[in-house]
């Protein structure tokens, strides 16, 4: 690019004399003027374009464009001036390659800073990309930065004429080997990204796994998820396991309340209206843990083998309170039923003997020899 610019500018410099130093100085002065004017025109034009197409772009991003545009144009001018003073092919190649390398480093710094600005702006607006949020932001920042740096190194070596084919092949082989060696870690890492992006649960939620483990989520990391069980034991689960498991989020849904079921059986001789009334009184009387909205419900479920099966449905504020609430309600149900003589049957079996075995009236006599 710099060599083509030099070939284009050289014919016009002959109008200002044959002094090489004068031509070089004129090129440097013109590069300063062109860089300043072009930078101003480009930034103003971009601002007008952005305002016309209604793109919500942070002003700091446009401010970052000042430096790479300005210095890239200056480097073009310096390359032309240097080629005038050093017409040798060897010196020209060294100068052009050096200036192009500096230009690549300047644009690399711009892309690194622009990546930081753009991804942070995306993370602040979750309606656009759910995968990029405050938790996954460091991962995406590092990933994009690595890609930018790798491309910068590749272009710098290409400018100096270094063949990168062998290096890329070696890097590919090393990448495959590392991928096989760290496949479990990478599986946990990618699962962690998907969990943070999809958000099937969050810190503080009460979840139940298909393995039967249940507890409150205390930490969601890139490699694992930790939850506190009912026994106050912290369990660490790899994210690859969480990603492939069926998860019941008892804290999810339109509201944070959780439903609690209390099954109860009564005798076939019981008055079902009285049973409904007693169960509702017990539920409405428990103000500490049972919610008023939605209100408690009593359902007559089925005719059991030895009892009429009812179910008391109440809502509690936290799923972790389910065990305590069931204990309180069961205790109160037993007391109230005992006072009202409502029988709670238990499973029993009646044994009918059709016929008693006959006892032999005569005992066998011993044979007398």
Is 347 within 8 Å of 340 (Cβ atoms)?
no
As a whole number of angstroms, the distance between CA 238 and CA 225 comes to 6
Q: How far apart are the first and last CA of the chain?
A: 134
Is 258 within 8 Å of 316 (Cβ atoms)?
yes
Residue 17 is assigned to a structural domain of this protein: yes
β-pairing verdict for 206-209 and 297-303: unpaired
Residue 184 is assigned to a structural domain of this protein: no
Residue 16 is assigned to a structural domain of this protein: yes
What would the two tokens of residue 117 be? Answer: 């600005």
Q: What's the total number of domains in the chain?
A: 3
Judge if 241 and 275 occupy the same domain: no
Residue 179 is assigned to a structural domain of this protein: no
Residue 173 is assigned to a structural domain of this protein: no
Burial class (CB in 10 A: 0-12, 13-18, 19+), 5: middle
Residue 139 is assigned to a structural domain of this protein: yes
Residue 363 is assigned to a structural domain of this protein: no
Judge if 224 and 328 occupy the same domain: no
As a whole number of angstroms, the distance between CA 308 and CA 300 comes to 8
Judge if 160 and 283 occupy the same domain: no
Q: Which whole-number Å values give the CA distances from 292 to 296, 300, 315, 331, in the listed order?
A: 7, 21, 8, 20
369 residues of the chain, pLDDT tens digit each: 545 555 555 555 555 555 555 666 666 677 777 777 776 776 676 666 656 655 555 556 666 777 787 787 777 777 776 666 665 565 667 777 888 888 889 889 988 888 888 888 777 776 666 667 666 777 778 888 888 998 898 888 888 877 777 777 777 787 787 777 767 777 777 787 777 777 788 888 888 888 888 888 998 887 889 999 878 888 999 988 888 888 888 877 666 678 889 999 999 999 999 999 999 999 998 888 888 888 899 999 999 888 999 999 998 888 878 888 999 999 999 999 999 999 988 876 677 777 776 665 555 555 544
Judge if 323 and 305 occupy the same domain: yes
Residue 328 is assigned to a structural domain of this protein: yes
As a whole number of angstroms, the distance between CA 192 and CA 138 comes to 13
Q: Where in the sequence is the domain holding 214, given as residue range(s)? A: 195-249
């Amino acid at each position: 690019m710099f060599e083509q610019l030099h070939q284009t500018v050289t014919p016009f410099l002959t109008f200002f004399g044959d002094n090489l130093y004068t031509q070089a100085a004129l090129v440097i002065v013109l590069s300063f003027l062109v860089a300043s004017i072009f930078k101003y025109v480009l930034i103003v034009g971009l601002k007008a374009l952005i305002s016309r197409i209604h793109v919500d772009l942070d002003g700091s991003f446009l401010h970052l464009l000042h430096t790479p545009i300005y210095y890239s144009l200056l480097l073009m001018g310096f390359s032309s001036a240097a080629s005038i003073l050093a017409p040798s092919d060897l010196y020209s190649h060294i100068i052009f390659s050096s200036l192009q390398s500096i230009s690549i480093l300047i644009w690399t710094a711009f892309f690194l800073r622009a990546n930081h600005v753009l991804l942070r702006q995306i993370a602040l607006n979750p309606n656009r990309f759910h995968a990029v949020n405050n938790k996954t932001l460091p991962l995406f920042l590092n990933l994009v930065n690595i890609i930018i740096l790798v491309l910068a190194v590749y272009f710098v070596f290409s400018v100096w004429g270094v063949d990168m084919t062998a290096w890329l092949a070696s890097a590919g082989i090393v990448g495959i080997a590392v991928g096989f060696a760290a496949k479990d870690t990478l599986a946990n890492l990618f699962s962690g990204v998907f969990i943070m992006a999809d958000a099937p649960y969050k810190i503080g939620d009460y979840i139940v796994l298909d393995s039967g483990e249940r507890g409150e989520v205390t930490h969601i990391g890139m490699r694992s998820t930790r939850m506190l069980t009912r026994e106050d034991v912290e369990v660490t689960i790899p994210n690859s396991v969480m990603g492939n498991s069926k998860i019941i989020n008892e804290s999810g849904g339109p509201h944070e309340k959780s439903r609690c079921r209390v099954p109860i059986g009564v005798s076939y001789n019981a008055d079902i209206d009285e049973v409904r009334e007693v169960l509702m009184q017990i539920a409405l009387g428990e103000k500490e843990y049972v919610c008023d909205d939605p209100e408690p419900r009593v359902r007559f479920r089925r005719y059991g083998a030895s009892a009429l099966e009812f179910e008391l449905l109440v809502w509690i504020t936290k799923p972790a309170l389910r065990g305590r609430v069931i204990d309180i309600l069961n205790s109160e149900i037993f007391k109230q039923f005992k006072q009202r003589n409502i029988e709670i049957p238990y499973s029993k079996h009646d044994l009918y003997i059709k016929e008693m075995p006959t006892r032999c009236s005569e005992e066998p006599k011993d044979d007398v020899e």
